[in-house]
Amino acid sequence: MPMYSGYGMGFGMVFMLLFWGVIILGVIVFIRQFSKPPSRSEEESAHSIAARRYAGGEINIEEFERIKHNLK
């Protein structure tokens, strides 16, 4: 009967943990990457909201110009 020293089993466990760690990390990164909403700059969003409010008659031209000036 051959005698095994047991070192191979230790390396196998380390590589198994590394393998599953990489798999789990990859799944987490994949989920986080695709669960983010698309980013838009706040200046564009605020300007488009102000323009929509002005077009809808909620604010007048002075308020719109003030908002536009503050966004610069």
Q: What is the pLDDT of residue 38?
A: 65
Q: pLDDT digit string (tens) for 9-50?
A: 677 888 999 999 999 999 999 998 888 776 665 556 788 889
Q: Degrees (nearest 5) of the Cα angle 28, 30, 32?
A: 70
Q: What is the pLDDT of residue 56?
A: 93
Residue 65 has pLDDT above 90, yes or no: yes
This prediction has a pTM of: 0.44
Is residue 32 domain-shared with residue 49, that is, in the same domain?
no
Is residue 59 domain-shared with residue 47, that is, in the same domain?
yes
Say how many domains are in the chain: 2
Q: What is the pLDDT of residue 33?
A: 87
Print the domain residue range for 69: 37-72
How many Å apart are CA 14 and CA 55, to the nearest integer? 64
How many Å apart are CA 36 and CA 70, to the nearest integer? 29
Q: What is the pLDDT of residue 43?
A: 53
- Give the C-alpha distances (Å, rounded to integers) separating 6 from 3, 15, 16, 18, 66: 9, 15, 16, 19, 76
